[in-house]
Amino acid sequence: MKSVLDSALLNHFDEVGVVAHGLPGAAYISDDFFQLEQKQLFATGWVLAGFAHQLAQRGDVSPLQVAGLPLLLLRDQQLQIRAFHNVCRHRNLKLVDNPGNCGKLIRCPYHSWSYDLDGALKVAPYFGGGQKELPENFRYEDNGLEPVNCEVWHDWIFVNLSSQPIPFEDFLAPLKRQLGSTDVTDYRPATMLDLGEVPCNWKLLMENFIEPYHVQFVHKKTTEQPLEDHYTVVDEHCVGSAVELSEEQVANAKVGTLGVTSHYLTLFPSFIMGTYQPDQMGVYLHVPVGADRTRQYRVIYTHKDSNYSDAQIQALADLWRSVHQEDHEMCIRMQQGRHSPLAADGGLLSPHWEKSVRKFQELIADAVRPALI
């Protein structure tokens, strides 16, 4: 393992020059590197875990995995969304296996230990012998579900496994700066795309989103956004790109293509938001499954004052599915290319169009380096 997780892995990444090298291929194909990211990135930062509109009712519960750990999201008695470790405190069985509504209690199917919607243990039948008998010094209040830091911003549920997370508002601050006057609470979920399991590393999907260099080549049939009108965004841990189009360009865009002013913004490590003027927004949920696999979802939002028909929403979904299929083909082939010895030096990054990719990769390197020393 040491040969894979050696600090020399990032030597090329440190070279100074106008044209910089990127992360080496091993950072995308190594299972060891993937496990390191789980511990150093996803177990320490704020991670998008789900969408509030999918937990609409009291008792709605959904399992998920963050940093390789089983967690659950729950709409509690006060209609607040909370996160817990998804294991019974008795024998550590995974409590919730599928999304649904648990009613008033989450019940372990193994020995019927039961927890209320605040995570408190309410029933531990026969644990001390008799039906309601408890062992000496055993207290219900000491054995509830273990909570996880959880914050909700509009429709987006974030969790943080760290014992000392950075303040959530500090995490959001650079993205809010980039959004300017855009009020995300004005947007309502219209539909969700389940894009399935993409056979590539999660970082390739992130990097593809934040660089505009590929747009006019990969999306020439689905977008009307010339490369020269784009610019990159680097604002602390918020990186991405944007394109500003004139009214004439928007008016001349082909029907059924994306030809509007757009902002493609991320928050490290894996939150992605796209805004599309005048009245659309998209947010992605990325679930890293392995070094070479990522589960991807996208929720399409429309402005509360817009009036889209079902047919128009379906057309939007079809357009975005086509755009993602174009991106997926490139990301899958990049994943395959990372197995080449030529990928050991990280390839080359455009000093103009891929500044955001460079910053994203610097954040990766900074996060994993303490464990490589």
- What's the pLDDT band for 257 if we cut at 50, 70, 90? confident
- Average pLDDT value for residue range 271-277: 96
Number of neighbouring beta carbons within 10 Å of residue 171: 22
Q: Tell me the C-alpha distance between 346 and 338, whole Å.
A: 9
pLDDT at 253 (0 to 100): 86
For residue 243, give the nearest of 215, 268, 270, 267 by alpha carbon: 215
- Average pLDDT value for residue range 250-270: 91
pLDDT at 15 (0 to 100): 75
Q: What is the pLDDT of residues 115-132, one digit of tens each?
A: 999 999 999 999 999 999
pLDDT at 2 (0 to 100): 41
**pTM: predicted TM-score of the whole model, two decimal places:** 0.94
pLDDT at 178 (0 to 100): 97
- Average pLDDT value for residue range 40-56: 97
Query: With 60 as the cut, is the pLDDT of residue 95 above it?
Result: yes
* The CATH number of the domain covering residues in 47-153: 2.102.10.10
Query: With 90 as the cut, is the pLDDT of residue 227 above it?
Result: no
Q: What is the pLDDT of residues 290-320, one digit of tens each?
A: 999 999 999 999 999 999 999 999 999 999 9
CA torsion, ordered 295, 301, 358, 329, to nearest 10 deg: 50
Rg of the Cα trace of the chain? 23
* Domain range summary for the chain, segments of one domain joined by +: 7-40+173-372, 47-153
Is the CATH number 3.90.380.10 carried by domain 7-40+173-372?
A: yes
- Average pLDDT value for residue range 181-202: 97
Number of neighbouring beta carbons within 10 Å of residue 226: 14
pLDDT at 16 (0 to 100): 75
Give yes or no for a contact between 77 and 58, defined as CB atoms under 8 angstroms apart. Answer: yes
Q: What is the pLDDT of residues 319-364, one digit of tens each?
A: 999 999 999 999 999 999 999 999 998 999 999 999 999 999 999 9
Please give the sequence-ordered ranges of beta strands (E in DSSP) within the chain, or none if there are none.
20-21, 47-51, 60-66, 69-75, 81-85, 100-101, 105-107, 114-116, 121-123, 147-153, 156-160, 187-198, 230-235, 238-243, 262-267, 271-276, 280-290, 293-303, 348-349
For residue 237, give the nearest of 207, 191, 268, 199 by alpha carbon: 268
pLDDT above 70: percentage of residues in the chain: 98
Residue 238 neighbours by CB under 8 Å, 6+ apart: 174, 175, 177, 178, 265, 266, 267, 268
